[in-house]
Every structure is written in C-alpha cells, then in structure tokens.
Amino acid sequence: MVKVFKVGVNGYGTIGKRVADAIVKNPRFQLLGIVKYTPDYSSRIAFKKGINIYVPAEKWSDFESQGIKPKGTIQEFLEESSIIVDASPNGKGAANLPMYKAAGKPAIFQGGEKPEVAELSFSAYCNYDDAVGRKYLRVVSCNTTGILRILCVLHREFTVKRAKVLVIRRGADPKEDARGPINSIKLESIGDVSHHGKDAMLVLPDVKIISQAVVVPTTLMHVQYLDIDLGQPVTKSQVIEALSRYARILLVDPGKTGLDSTSKLTEAARDLLRGRNDIYENIVFENTVIVSENNVSLLQAIHQESIVVPENVDALYAVANIKIPFEKVVEETDRLLGIGGLKDVF
Amino acid sequence: MVKVFKVGVNGYGTIGKRVADAIVKNPRFQLLGIVKYTPDYSSRIAFKKGINIYVPAEKWSDFESQGIKPKGTIQEFLEESSIIVDASPNGKGAANLPMYKAAGKPAIFQGGEKPEVAELSFSAYCNYDDAVGRKYLRVVSCNTTGILRILCVLHREFTVKRAKVLVIRRGADPKEDARGPINSIKLESIGDVSHHGKDAMLVLPDVKIISQAVVVPTTLMHVQYLDIDLGQPVTKSQVIEALSRYARILLVDPGKTGLDSTSKLTEAARDLLRGRNDIYENIVFENTVIVSENNVSLLQAIHQESIVVPENVDALYAVANIKIPFEKVVEETDRLLGIGGLKDVF
C-alpha cells in the first residue's frame, strides 16, 4: 500500500496555492493544510474550497471574525505535517528554517531563497537522483527551471559546454497592480550578469552558464533566448527530437498553430480550461530553433506562476524517499497535472 | 565656397520630419521643402515653421482651405530638388523611383524599402566610401543601423566572424495609438530568422549575421542583444575602448548614472532638451558587455525614431559627392546634430 504523506504548505501566494492544488490531485500525498497570516480573499477562497487553514495563535480571532474558522495554529501545523513546502515570500523561508528543524520536519523551499537554505538546489531533469532522501531541498526559480529543463535534456543527449541566456522577464504577475514597468525595457541588474546563470550552475556545475535579463511591460510569461554550445555537432532535427521526448518541454510551431506570442499561448491555456490558465511546460517556439554545427539557439516562453509546480511535486517524492525511479516520478507528476496532453493538440 | 544642394524631402513622417530638421542645421544643404499628401497637424506645424510644402496638384485646394499655402506641386518639387530624400511609407519609395528617374534626380531611400530600390544599402560606419558618387542609396532601417554600427566598428578593429542578434522591438512609436501588443511578448516572425541579419549582410557581406526578434509593449526604444565572435581574442577594455572612439556609440554605466532603462534614457534626452527627445546614438549598457576570449556580447538601446537621421545626412554627402573624407563627413554631421556631447555628461 502507498504511504500517504501529510504535506503542509506554508504560504499561499502564487506558488503555494498552486502546489496545494497539485498535492490534492496526487494520491501519494495528503494536503494537511496551509498557513495563512491574514484573512484576505485568498484565505476565504481556500476556506470555501475546504482547505485546512493554520494561523498564528495571535491571529486566530482575526480569521474567525472574517468567518474563516482556522484548523489550528502554526505549532499544530508543524506537528501534524510530515513534509513542509515553504512557499513564503522571498527570504522568509530562511527565517522559517529553524522552526522546521526544531520540529524535525523536512522542507522544500523555493528559488527566492538563497541556496544555503537547503542541502541541494533542485531541478528534476537535472539532479532528481541526488535529491532522493534529502531533508531540505530548494526548487530553483521559474526562469532557472525553464533554463535547466532545456540544458539538462541537451546535456544528457549531447553534452552542453556553455550556455548564454537572455531572459526577457515579465514585469509583474497578473495580480500585482503596483509593479512596473509600464513603458520601458529595463535592465534587471546593474551588474554584468543576472542570478539565473549562477543559480543554474549550482544544479549543473560542469556547464558554464552566463545569463542577463531585461524586464518588459507584460504580465503573462517570460521569454528566454538560449544560446548553447554543445560538445558535438548536431542537426536541428536531432535537437527537436531530443526536446520532444520530455513532456515538460512543448515545441510549438507558430506557423502551423498561430501561437506566436505569450498572449495567444495564455488564450490557448484558457480555452483548454487549464486551472488558472497555467502552463507547466516550457513552450519552445520551434521555428526559432537555429542549429549550426555544435551551436543551438532558441526562444521559449515560460509561465512564471506555474512552471515550478511539477518540480515541487517531484521534490516531495524525493524528500519522501518514495522508492520508484526518476522516470516514473516525473511520469506520475505529469499525468496527475495533465502535462503532456498538449502535444496532441498543437 | 561650399556648394549648397537643394534637398527635397518626400514624406514627412517619423523619419522625414527629422531629416528635414537635420538639413536645416547643415550649411552644405538647403531644405527645398517637403511633400505632403494631407493637410494634417504635421503639415500645419511644418507650415508654421516656414517649411515649403509641395503637394499633389489635385490636393492644392484641400491645403489652402486649411490655411496652408503650398509652395508648389510635386512636379515643381522634382524640378527644383538637387537631391531627394524619400521618407515615404514602406514600399512607397519603390513606387516613387520611376518619378525620380524621369526627373533625373538622385535619391536616398529608407530601410522600409526593398534593397533593389537603390544601388547600395548604406550604413556610414561600414561603407561610406563605396557610397560616394552613387545616385541611389538606401539607408538601412533603425535596428539594422544599430546592429551595423557596432559590427562595423568591431570588424574594423578586430574582424567579426559571426554575429547573432536578438532584437527586443518596441511595439509602436509614441504617436501610433492603434498598434500593439498591450500585454504580450510576440515573435516578430514565424520564420526562423528576422530580416535584420539579412539586411545587415547586404552591407557587411563577409560576416555571417543571424537575427531574431520579439515585440514587446513599449514605445520608447528597441533593445538589442548582440553576441559576436571575433577573429581574435580580446579583452573587455579593448572592446570598450574601440566602441568609445565612435561618437554614435555611447557607453553608459547604469551603476554610475542610474540609466538602466529605456524610459530613463528618454528622460535624460528630455532633460538635455534634445529636439523631440531624440537619441541618435547607440546606447550600449557598459555593464552588459561580456567578453570571453574571442566572444563579445552586449545589450544596447536604440531609439527607433531618430537613429537613422545621421546616416541620412551622411548619405546626402555621399550622393552630393562632396570631396571630404569619411571621418570629416561623420564629424561634421555629428557636430551639427549635437552627437558626441553626451560623452561628457554620462
């Protein structure tokens, strides 16, 4: 019989609410509940959905006065969880770590935390086997996840020597009505490189990865430009074929499908009635794949809100030390999230 | 004594009005006037400025009824011009060519025309000497001009073998209130590459230049990512030093100046009281210049409305066959337009 792990999700923002929903879909895990600090609209929606809400003891009455009956306190949350997914705001995860350690509970952190928060920075296509049995994992950020899926697939197939990445970052998430830019293309950093490449190299240390980023006025998805030097000459069809074998990478032909922008991709996700119009897959624009000897470049769209959800679920398998091989883990995660089905549509 | 050439500007849109103003500033040329087809606000402003307006004979009364007294007809415009700058809408230049030929007048076309419209596609830093004495030139488009300034400088100094370019294109010009996207990152093309690279190779045929482009919701400037393989290893300071020697390339350090976005660059141009807040220079973000052996990459901002203005003026020198060397031509063009002065400010 499959052991059911109780997973507590600390933080119910962009990532936390999606991971909570993903856990509900997966019979190996039970969603113990979520931690909320304010009785806002998302607490109310979670409560209406029947999700258990744990709150700081001193906030109990704030929730009750809003008609939201908490299930328990944070102390009870820590005691009852078998594994915690920390999806709290950037940097808050590190502050929570001592609490998880004191309770003796394993935890999965997000890419907004510094790498030191965990034993290993994690991206399933790259280092699942190394993650199995670990107590603390950090799922790398949305852009780094998007980069690493491609690089690790190509590294496995052809060996990647070096990659340069330009991230064209969305300015804000759809709900963030106070962020910009409205009419500008902005450097993400005044340094020479962005953090994505360094972060990716934590997971794939034998490849030199250099990244830069600009921020643009859109909320839907990032677009990334990857320029990759392989250890051997390849053909375009070899690259396409290799990428096609992985369900979390979806090659889309804009000429055939009309899907030539992040807004049209989002509309397709809406029409497919995907929850929250989430797109878990890297969307590689097939026409943009250019191959010349051992050099490959491509453009891909990355849905910043949802791309890390499958990797968070994989991380639960690893921390729970579930004894099935990597291929079976991602197949199961993907099937339960509906990943892969789009290959037939596009 | 310097011979004064009468220059007629056919078309008074984004490029035409700027080239007309540049001609007024240059004592070697006299602005004969402009051709307008409708008595709209820009006709009215030109008329108030004292610019001669030539109109189709059948539109004469339309202009007069709006209080705009035309100077003459298009036939008179053709007869009185010594050189014509065609800044009419994309593709219209080719339709105008037979008219210029019939009148025996040399003409300068814009990058929106197909290359066949002219004898030579032109970018001053690349092929001025080859352009001298030609009758028909085509100044390449804004993005291609931005790409070629960098490549031709580096080619001259270090030999460029290959360049890959990603253009992050502004969606619309400030005045264009019917274009998008509003909230999307869109591929410019469903083909494998954009036209910019092919266009650049017309001017720099011994370098392999591959370009792709995405369109984003902003009106101010393009941003370009250039990845360049040189014929020899270089250092970052050699690259910076080479680029710094050319007035139309301005290296800006965002850490020192705070200029880390196209909106802040535009604000600086406004504060400097540049006409129409035009930025004639490639703005290379100095922090983004990454050099590794013979590979150089950088990000630069390109003001799509004004970047081709100096090259249009240079093209007039070439077509007028003015007997001064290339260095003197660009120095004179730059000085009269105020290019180069910003090096002291930033």
Interface probe for A, chosen from B216, B226, B292 (most Cβ of A below 10 Å), is B216
Give A 198-217 residues with CB within 8 A of chain B.
Answer: 210, 212, 214, 216-217
Dihedrals phi, psi of A109, to nearest 5 degrees: -105, 170
How confident is the model at residue A175, as a pLDDT? Answer: 94
Question: Is there a contact between B187 and A287 if contact means CB atoms under 8 Å apart?
Answer: yes
Q: Do A285 and A266 belong together in one domain? A: yes
Question: Residue B346 carries which DSSP code?
Answer: -
Q: Do A128 and A146 belong together in one domain? A: no
Give B 222-241 residues with CB within 8 A of chain A.
Answer: 222-223, 225, 227
Q: Which residues of A touch B217 (CB under 8 A)?
A: 183, 216-218
Per residue in A217-234, pLDDT (tens digit) is 999 999 999 999 999 999
| Residue A126 appears among annotated catalytic residues | no
Token pair of B86 as six digits: 């065609």
Token pair of B52 as six digits: 């001669």
Q: Do A53 and A107 belong together in one domain? A: yes
Beta pairing partners, A249:
A282
Q: Do B184 and B325 belong together in one domain? A: no
Alpha-carbon dihedral angle through residues B99, B102, B107, B109, given to the nearest 10 degrees: 40
Q: Do B200 and B318 belong together in one domain? A: no
Let me know if residue B282 belongs to a domain. yes
Q: Please report which confidence band the pLDDT of residue A344 belongs to, taking 50, 70 and 90 as the band edges.
A: confident
How confident is the model at residue A38, as a pLDDT? Answer: 93
Of A184, A218, A289, the CB nearest to B220: A184
- Provide the number of structural domains found in chain B: 2
How confident is the model at residue B88, as a pLDDT? Answer: 97
Q: Could you write out the three-class secondary structure of B308-345?
A: CHHHHHHHHHHHCCCCCCHHHHHHHHHHHHCCCCHHHH
R_g of chain B, CA atoms, integer Å: 20
Q: Please report which confidence band the pLDDT of residue A244 belongs to, taking 50, 70 and 90 as the band edges.
A: very high
Is the pLDDT at A2 greater than 70? The verdict is no
Q: Which of helix, strand or coil describes residue B100?
A: helix
Question: Residue A261 carries which DSSP code?
Answer: B
Q: Is A171 on the interface with B (CB under 8 A)?
A: no
More confident residue, A320 or B346: A320
Burial degree of A325 (CB within 10 A; 0-12, 13-18, 19+): exposed
Token pair of B203 as six digits: 């001017």
Is the pLDDT at A194 greater than 80? The verdict is yes
Burial degree of B195 (CB within 10 A; 0-12, 13-18, 19+): middle
Domain housing A298 = 142-307
Let me know if residue A262 belongs to a domain. yes
CA distance B301 to B279: 10
CA distance A241 to A300: 16
Q: Tell me which residue of A126, A291, A17 sits closest to B193, measured CA to CA.
A: A291
By DSSP bridging, strand A222-230 and strand A295-302 are antiparallel
Q: Do A271 and A180 belong together in one domain? A: yes
The catalytic residue among A84, A142, A309, A339 is A142
- Amino acid at position B82, single letter: S
Residue B202, CB half-sphere, CA atoms under 13 Å: how many?
Answer: 21
Beta carbons of A93 and A18 less than 8 angstroms apart: no
Question: Which sign does the torsion angle of CA B175, B179, B185, B186 carry?
Answer: negative
How close is the nearest chain A Cα to the Cα of B275, in Å? 20
Let me know if residue B245 belongs to a domain. yes
How confident is the model at residue A143, as a pLDDT? Answer: 98
Let me know if residue A344 belongs to a domain. no
Is the pLDDT at A308 greater than 90? The verdict is yes
Among chain A residues, the shortest Cα distance to B255 is held by: A190
Q: Do A320 and A224 belong together in one domain? A: no
Question: Is there a contact between A261 and B186 if contact means CB atoms under 8 Å apart?
Answer: yes
Q: Is A140 on the interface with B (CB under 8 A)?
A: no
Percentage of chain A with pLDDT > 70? 99
Beta carbons of B5 and B83 less than 8 angstroms apart: yes
Q: Do A299 and A240 belong together in one domain? A: yes
Beta carbons of B181 and B205 less than 8 angstroms apart: no
- DSSP codes, A7-61: EEEE--SHHHHHHHHHHHT-TTEEEEEEE-SS--HHHHHHHHTT--EEE-GGGHH
Let me know if residue A47 belongs to a domain. yes
Q: Do A293 and A161 belong together in one domain? A: yes
How confident is the model at residue A3, as a pLDDT? Answer: 72
Alpha-carbon dihedral angle through residues B34, B37, B41, B43, given to the nearest 10 degrees: 20
Let me know if residue B344 belongs to a domain. no
Let me know if residue A196 belongs to a domain. yes
Q: Which of helix, strand or coil describes residue B144?
A: helix
Q: Do B131 and B273 belong together in one domain? A: no
Beta pairing partners, A162:
A208, A229
Is the pLDDT at A169 greater than 80? The verdict is yes
Q: Tell me which residue of A174, A149, A248 sits closest to B184, measured CA to CA.
A: A174
CA-CA distances (angstroms) from residue A189 to A169, A211, A300? Answer: 12, 11, 22
Q: Do B159 and B88 belong together in one domain? A: no
Give B 91-110 residues with CB within 8 A of chain A.
Answer: none
- DSSP codes, A3-16: PPEEEEEE--SHHH
How confident is the model at residue A49, as a pLDDT? Answer: 94
Q: Is A218 on the interface with B (CB under 8 A)?
A: yes
How long is chain B? 346
Interface probe for A, chosen from B187, B208, B285, B287 (most Cβ of A below 10 Å), is B187
Q: What is the mean pLDDT of chain A?
A: 96
Strands of the sheet containing A136-139, edge to edge, are A72-73, A53-55, A29-35, A5-10, A83-86, A107-109, A136-139, A120-122
How close is the nearest chain A Cα to the Cα of B323, in Å? 42
Let me know if residue A112 belongs to a domain. yes
Per residue in A101-134, pLDDT (tens digit) is 999 999 999 999 999 999 999 999 999 999 999 9
- Residue ranges of chain B with per-residue pLDDT less than 50: 1
Token pair of B13 as six digits: 């849109």
CATH code where residue A216 lies:
3.30.360.10
Q: What average pLDDT score do residues A311-321 get?
A: 98
CATH code where residue B60 lies:
3.40.50.720
Q: Is B299 on the interface with A (CB under 8 A)?
A: yes
Count CB atoms within 10 A of the CB of residue B265. Answer: 27
Q: Is A192 on the interface with B (CB under 8 A)?
A: yes
Q: Do A66 and A86 belong together in one domain? A: yes
Q: Tell me which residue of A243, A245, A265, A248 sits closest to A338, measured CA to CA.
A: A248
